[in-house]
Structure 1
């Protein structure tokens, strides 16, 4: 297993070397030897109570890294002098899991003060939650530092919406150094995701202003979702409808589902039908190990986006506030 984990990292270092020049595996081996164990134990405790934390942390990591780099700027709380940090932006309204990051940070500060960055905590906690949810086991390089800037306008209009056209989605990921295999794999995290009805209700009743449901959605799925989104419904639905009894199981059945016109979000549906992505969706649908391997590679890539290292940034003592 150790060989497999490091082979993933070595492959990523080979194809994407520059971003990793200041990060390294085992960065805290001297300054805080138990750092990764502390993170792992607290994530495991939370997962035991709430398996949905895998989806929450994966989304948090994604939303942080793709705005202005993996710098924990998403964690900053509003203040009188900084009333609109990234956390308050519309696309970040449903991001959660901040209290777990706080819990981990408190434990690490007690063990080794001012050594482990909040951005590394998010990266490590996400990795551990993915594995606990049934996803791949992989190593991540560490050594990130926390940023000094957090503005809501940086997130508005940048993060992809649920109806983003596939070419625009590929451009979005491409601008961060990721290819189609990375993009589709990362969106495969929807296998453990939950979506609010507001993100897809138009597909159920008034698709593109027609007053009719989306004709490309499986009618059975559309009917179930209408019940979910009705006045007496939960107003939230699992994005992977293939495993209703295990909604937080990290597997490739999501890709099988979207190929059967059972994608809840329009973007997920389009992944399976657009010529730029349909073949990749097929490959992941028929090969769970391929999906998990590529997901691990893409997650390590994502964790390297515009990181601060060395003397840049800071190590926050409270993840919700600049020092």
Structure 2
């Protein structure tokens, strides 16, 4: 029994999952009906549903961010801005350039969405080219779109917020008629499942880890390090685009200044909270997804406890510091050392008593 418990605690997902459950249990103590799920007007309501729904964008971003961190030992800080650009590009295509609000589409819905996703993939390709071909440090390379993407989106929308009041467009971030589950949850499940199946059923997951651990050794072994790195940034851009469409659909519009704001930080935190090393190499996608929903659970907890939106980031930062510290290798080593010393001391005491 002790052996099984020890094996469980050594699992990489144990601490991320334990931290998320701790946050949820705190909510349960504060509010006994926290896990209650009701159906109102034909759709599911409840704080758990809200966490799964509102955390969808961060979870989708965390998928791409995990691959980028693993392959390049760097972070993509442009994902929030790429979300905004995708939303602006999609809404501009659907409404027509210069149109402030519309109930009819200028182009078919699929065309507008594909245009937005193409924009996001172009952004991912741009970042990938700078990192993989020009060997620019990832944070510096992605800083370009972090700064410029929102401005480009604002230009696409003719310096205004573009409203899409076309009912089917609202489904991506809200509810499909007749379905009680938020559409964003389905989209997240699809994105995560496709990426994880691809990594499991092909050798790409192993290639990404190999390049992240030692790029030069991977290249000598016959792997195209630059292509693999480029591919990861391309996927990261696509994930940001999908998250941008979901976020835009929630508010029926493209708000260049607010969509995806600070989401790049949450996506990086999700990777860290999931127990993944920001130094690249081995990664665990499931851990990042748990980290993403832990962040959203913290946000919901603070709001439920009456913490103001101005004070919430401070409290959230303290909680995140505690969680990250608990998962830090140095802290784990310190705890293990203390346990070992305690066991030695107990044995010495027992030997003295026996003597």
User: Same fold by TM-score, threshold 0.5 exceeded?
Assistant: no
| Higher helix content, 1 or 2 | 2
TM-score by length of 1: 0.26
TM-score by length of 2: 0.24
